[in-house]
Structure 1
Amino acid sequence: MTDRPAHLNQVQLARRWHLSPRTLERWRWLGQGPAFLKLGGRIVYRLDDIEAFERAQLRTPPSTAEVPA
């Protein structure tokens, strides 16, 4: 078993991504960002969903060979 947490709360995720917790609130309101759970009055994000969202945001820069000079 690992010491890896299964969930992060809003503040923990905001720290991980160097965002304001309010940004995560706005994303939830707009239907953006990673999937989340609402447990009673608490919002938590599953680590698996966070990592899937991060992978989906991965962009690679265009090759310099493809850029016209």
Structure 2
Amino acid sequence: MRILWTFVNKDKLDAFLPSLVHHEIDHEVQSKNGLPYTQGEATILVDERDYEKARKILMKHRKRRTSSDLM
């Protein structure tokens, strides 16, 4: 497994996970400092063969515009 990204909170992680599931990318979530990922930073790891595809999905996800960006 290869590290894809570390999210600072659960909300940001939960916004991205459905994209990985939709594209059928094997992934794993690990928390930092032994805390459950619901209470702190969480790192997503993806299978080596899916890394490039997952990275493209992540970059597209990070570039999306939210309603606050439009104001």
Q: Which has the larger radius of gyration?
A: 1
Higher strand proportion (structure 1 or 2) = 2
TM-score of the aligned structures, taking structure 1 as reference length: 0.31
TM-score of the aligned structures, taking structure 2 as reference length: 0.30
